[in-house]
A and B are shown apart, each in its own frame.
Chain A
Amino acid sequence: MDAILKAIVDIWNESGYVKLFTLGTEGNLLERIVTGGVGNLIMIAISCFLIYLAIKKEFEPLLLLPIAFGMLLVNLPLGDVMRSQFNTLIPLTQEELAHLQQGILDQSYPVFEMNGRYYWQHFETGGLLWYLYQGVKFGIYPPLIFLGIGAMTDFGPLIANPKSFLLGAAAQLGIFATYFGALALGLTGNPSLTFTEQQAASIGIIGGADGPTAIWLTSKLAPELLGPIAVAAYSYMALVPIIQPPIMRLFTTKKERSVVMEQLRPVSKTEKIMFPIFVTIIVVLLLPSAAPLVGMLMLGNLFRESGVVDRISKTAQNELMNIITIFIGITVGATANAATFLQPRTLLIIVLGLAAFSFGTAGGVLFGKLMYYFTGGKVNPLIGSAGVSAVPMAARVSQKVGQQENPSNFLLMHAMGPNVAGVIGSAVAAGVLLTLFG
């Protein structure tokens, strides 16, 4: 009876439940919390809250749900879903050594000699999510998502009104402004406020309002911040309808907001086919580091517009995109373990991300205002805010705010131009940052 009881106690002690209520052994209280099981407990609470936001509030559920669940999985102690594969060295016993010298092998592991001693080299496989994470680490998933986005996007409004490209560039201002802000914080001398240039650039890219681009750049420049940055980027994309309108109203007058724009000219099929080819050649020659993102985006679009590879186009925008979304979501979530996520800088990143979004919106609207003056009032500055990517949410916001001033005004198609230009713009900005800091 005692033996059974002891076995049960042993199983209990080795389970994750006990682990959850431990503290780390080193450092101050905060460090002990985040390295111990209590940190995991807090992360489990956070992931459940994010799951709630995704399901009940429908905050970008397609991404937030897998991200939150990845977060949950990685914070259950001993699950080891993110453990990397590695080799352990086990010293040979005297007997095994004797066998080795006689040419008999007791185990099928390779033998490794180090300083005159012999070891078995034992290979340990990694956790499931660690293998899937390699697609993020090597920058494979984000360009594949871009392939799908390209196949879904109609660049027609942008081709009809090429001036929209400029709005897509202006709205990238937030990226650079926030980069500056994140670096300037380091001047306070407080180590928890100090970011390296790479980290600052990764935080800034949140302002591009483009999840895959943010993940792509961060995985290359500052992989240690991937969790907080992905969560910030996707949360703010869901919050675009709340963040943008006040900024849009702040910088525009009632008269500017009620401008009715001329109808867009129809775009021929030839133009739509030439577009992805031209954009690829021009952008990649100028900025080779943006090739994976821009190249895949435009390939997807060429699939769509060429009209001869319908099957591939459908796969890119549905099945492939969905599969990659699952992989990218769950593995990015799984990078958010307690030790890296429960840091004061996570909050800071979330605040800086908000600043990046706001600056980007302001940049777009102000440039829209400039275009309003230069065209003699033909451009409604509200479409500028759609220049942060967040397709098509940001364009809908322009439409909504415009309609509040003039219910018979339809800005949606006009705003789609800067909106899709913003995708290209943030990919270019990511390329610039990668070239400078990669």
Chain B
Amino acid sequence: LYERLKLLLKQGIIYDNAYNGRRWSFLCSLPLELKLIKSWDDKTMEITGIAAVAAEKLNASVVLSDAALVIAIGVIVVFMALIILTAIFWVFGKVAHRNSEAASSNTNDVQEVKQYAAQAAIPSAVKKQEGLSDEVVAVIAATVAAMAPEGKKYAIRSVRRARSERPVWAAAGVAENTRPF
């Protein structure tokens, strides 16, 4: 019967109205049930013929193995797409990082920094926290000088180390303010 149905299907005498074509590949090996499909003449609205359609019986192992296949394909494709993207942007990030490093080690910049450092005299009156060297103060002064608008002078009065962790109250304040986000 299956072979005969397959032949009829091939010849276009019976047609698949119950499932999509994909499933017919399982035709030979599976239990089938016959369904009758009526065909209509659209103009007269009369039944012109009845065709027998073999439909695969809902079979647990087929449904589940099909579904498992879909899951496997789906997960693999999704991961593949995103792994390719990960790899590309990882490489991209490395290249961009190297470029920016190359740019920052440019000798012109070093010259400029030295120039600003020279401009920024270290006032001895700077109040320093213990453990901070003059170099640190010099760097800070140079940075301020570099960022300051042309012709303006700034004085550094005190330098102290920032706390590495937020004090509890400050953290609570930040948490409070960022809660809506």
CB 8 Å contact bits of A64-108 with B (1 = contact, 0 = none)? 000000000000000000000000000000000000000000000
In the assembly, what is the distance between CA of A162 and CA of B92, in Å? Answer: 10
Q: Cβ of A270 and Cβ of B96 under 8 Å apart?
A: yes
At the interface, yes or no: A433 with Cβ under 8 Å from chain B? Answer: yes
9 of the cross-chain contacts (CB-CB < 8 Å) are A165-B83, A165-B89, A169-B81, A179-B67, A179-B70, A189-B58, A271-B93, A425-B78, A432-B73
At the interface, yes or no: A287 with Cβ under 8 Å from chain B? Answer: yes
The residue from B71, B82, B100, B165 contacting A424, defined by CB atoms under 8 A apart: B82
In the assembly, what is the distance between CA of A399 and CA of B85, in Å? Answer: 25
At the interface, yes or no: A28 with Cβ under 8 Å from chain B? Answer: no
Known interface pairs A270-B96, A274-B92. Does A428 touch B58 (Cβ–Cβ under 8 Å)?
A: no
In the assembly, what is the distance between CA of A275 and CA of B81, in Å? Answer: 14
With both beta carbons as reference points, the residue of chain A lying nearest to B176 in the complex is identified as A407
With both beta carbons as reference points, the residue of chain B lying nearest to A433 in the complex is identified as B74
The residue from A165, A173, A179, A265 contacting B85, defined by CB atoms under 8 A apart: A165
Contact partners of A168 in chain B: CB under 8 A: 82
In the assembly, what is the distance between CA of A410 and CA of B179, in Å? Answer: 11
At the interface, yes or no: B121 with Cβ under 8 Å from chain A? Answer: no
Within 8 A of A (CB), among B41-95: 43-44, 58, 60, 63-64, 66-68, 70-71, 73-75, 77-90, 92-93
Q: Pick from A18-26, A31-39, A277-285 the stretch touching chain B.
A: A277-285
At the interface, yes or no: B160 with Cβ under 8 Å from chain A? Answer: no
At the interface, yes or no: B171 with Cβ under 8 Å from chain A? Answer: yes
At the interface, yes or no: A46 with Cβ under 8 Å from chain B? Answer: no
Within 8 A of A (CB), among B116-142: none
Q: Cβ of B60 and Cβ of A187 under 8 Å apart?
A: yes
Known interface pairs A114-B43, A429-B74, A432-B73. Does A399 touch B181 (Cβ–Cβ under 8 Å)?
A: yes
Contact partners of A165 in chain B: CB under 8 A: 82-83, 85-86, 89
At the interface, yes or no: B175 with Cβ under 8 Å from chain A? Answer: yes
Q: Which residue of B20, B80, B171, B175 has the most chain A CB atoms within 10 A of its CB atom?
A: B175
Interface residue tally on B, bucketed by range: 35 or more
At the interface, yes or no: B97 with Cβ under 8 Å from chain A? Answer: yes
At the interface, yes or no: B172 with Cβ under 8 Å from chain A? Answer: yes
In the assembly, what is the distance between CA of A399 and CA of B64, in Å? Answer: 38
Q: Cβ of B71 and Cβ of A179 under 8 Å apart?
A: yes
At the interface, yes or no: B166 with Cβ under 8 Å from chain A? Answer: yes
Contact partners of B84 in chain A: CB under 8 A: 282, 286
Contact partners of A400 in chain B: CB under 8 A: 179
Contact partners of A282 in chain B: CB under 8 A: 81, 84-85, 88
In the assembly, what is the distance between CA of A213 and CA of B78, in Å? Answer: 15
Q: Cβ of B166 and Cβ of A186 under 8 Å apart?
A: no
Contact partners of A432 in chain B: CB under 8 A: 73-74, 77-78
Within 8 A of A (CB), among B29-43: 43
The residue from B71, B78, B90 contacting A180, defined by CB atoms under 8 A apart: B71
Closest 3 CB pairs of A and B: A162-B89, A169-B82, A165-B82
With both beta carbons as reference points, the residue of chain A lying nearest to B61 in the complex is identified as A187
At the interface, yes or no: A335 with Cβ under 8 Å from chain B? Answer: no
In the assembly, what is the distance between CA of A175 and CA of B43, in Å? Answer: 44
Q: Cβ of A408 and Cβ of B81 under 8 Å apart?
A: no
Q: Cβ of B70 and Cβ of A176 under 8 Å apart?
A: yes
CB 8 Å contact bits of B138-170 with A (1 = contact, 0 = none)? 000000000000000000000000000110000
Known A169-B78, A275-B89; further 9 A-B contacts with Cβ < 8 A: A169-B83, A172-B74, A177-B71, A267-B96, A270-B96, A278-B89, A407-B172, A429-B74, A432-B78
Q: Which residue of A114, A407, A412 has the most chain B CB atoms within 10 A of its CB atom?
A: A407
In the assembly, what is the distance between CA of A275 and CA of B22, in Å? Answer: 37
Known interface pairs A183-B63, A436-B73. Does A265 touch B82 (Cβ–Cβ under 8 Å)?
A: no
Known interface pairs A396-B181, A436-B70. Does A268 touch B96 (Cβ–Cβ under 8 Å)?
A: yes
Minimum Cβ distance to chain B for residue A184 (Å): 7
Contact partners of B79 in chain A: CB under 8 A: 166, 169
Minimum Cβ distance to chain A for residue B20 (Å): 8
Contact partners of A283 in chain B: CB under 8 A: 81, 85
With both beta carbons as reference points, the residue of chain B lying nearest to A286 in the complex is identified as B81
Contact partners of B77 in chain A: CB under 8 A: 286-287, 428, 432
Contact partners of B66 in chain A: CB under 8 A: 197
Contact partners of B93 in chain A: CB under 8 A: 159-160, 162, 265, 271
Q: Cβ of A408 and Cβ of B171 under 8 Å apart?
A: yes
Known interface pairs A271-B92, A286-B77. Does A265 touch B175 (Cβ–Cβ under 8 Å)?
A: no
Minimum Cβ distance to chain B for residue A58 (Å): 13
In the assembly, what is the distance between CA of A437 and CA of B21, in Å? Answer: 11
In the assembly, what is the distance between CA of A171 and CA of B11, in Å? Answer: 46
Contact partners of A425 in chain B: CB under 8 A: 78, 82
Known interface pairs A286-B80, A287-B81, A407-B172. Does A159 touch B89 (Cβ–Cβ under 8 Å)?
A: yes
At the interface, yes or no: A346 with Cβ under 8 Å from chain B? Answer: no
Q: Cβ of A407 and Cβ of B175 under 8 Å apart?
A: yes
At the interface, yes or no: A163 with Cβ under 8 Å from chain B? Answer: yes
At the interface, yes or no: A421 with Cβ under 8 Å from chain B? Answer: yes
Known interface pairs A176-B70, A179-B70, A436-B70. Does A162 touch B63 (Cβ–Cβ under 8 Å)?
A: no
Q: Cβ of B86 and Cβ of A163 under 8 Å apart?
A: yes
